[in-house]
Amino acid sequence: MEIEFQRVGKKYESGQEALSQVSFHLRQGEMAFLTGHSGAGKSTLMKLMMMIERQTSGQILVDGVDLRTLSRRAVPHHRRRVGVVFQNHQLLLDRSVFHNVALPLQVSGADPAQIAKRVRAALDKVGLLDKEKYNPMALSGGEQQRVGIARAVVNKPQLLLADEPTGNLDPKLSAEIMNLFQEFNRVGVTVLVASHDLALVARMRHRVLTLNQGRMVNDGGFG
């Protein structure tokens, strides 16, 4: 998936300007990091890509299509093409790991045999195949985050977004998670990871986009 921001701005009704004049181009199959202090607008940028919020100025093109032209009904279908990983993983605690990962497939109406196969494939990729029957609460922080990643990729998205995916993890686990993203990127998925862990980002040697108070202040290599 190809993403292009053209002078995108987001101003909230309260008058707070979360993003202004943000432009960048993420090519198909590219992997990039998004850094900046907290409140710099990283989450807002992710939300615009997910169409959780809409920009107040500028254009966002996804595969050449202006997101503003999409109707409310098209939003769920857009989201199915995008996998998201959150810092606070957003897992449902009333169901097993398996059913958490199966959710994106269920909502898109996949057939049950297909769901089981693909959920296990996704869990296998993140190394949690033996934990499918567990409740997410019974897992460690790193494992929970990996369940979140399995859920993000089970639908084979063309874009993978991660908002502070390593926020609560120790350096070793963080590196493991980042390696996972790199693996998905290697098979052609466009990946954008928001992180304030500059040391880790630098080690990954990918393009780095830096936001400061809603403006894109750096768009270049390796942080």
Among 19, 45, 49, 84, binds other proteins (CB under 8 A): 84
- Cα(103)–Cα(91) distance, integer angstroms: 10
Question: Judged by CB under 8 A, does residue 171 bind other proteins?
Answer: no
Among 5, 98, 181, 184, binds other proteins (CB under 8 A): 184
Extract the runs of DSSP E, i.e. beta strands, from the chain: 3-11, 17-26, 31-35, 57-62, 65-66, 82-86, 159-163, 190-194, 207-212, 215-221
Strands 57-62 and 207-212: what pairing? unpaired
Query: Restricting to residues 91-110, which ones interact with other proteins according to CB under 8 A?
Result: 91-92, 94, 103-104, 107-109
Q: How many residues bind other proteins (CB under 8 A)?
A: 42
Closest separation in Å from C-beta 170 to other proteins: 26
- Cα(137)–Cα(47) distance, integer angstroms: 26
- Contacts to other proteins by CB under 8 A: 1-2, 28-29, 47, 50, 52, 63-65, 70-71, 73-74, 76-81, 84, 90-92, 94, 103-104, 107-109, 111, 121, 151, 153, 155-158, 184, 187-189
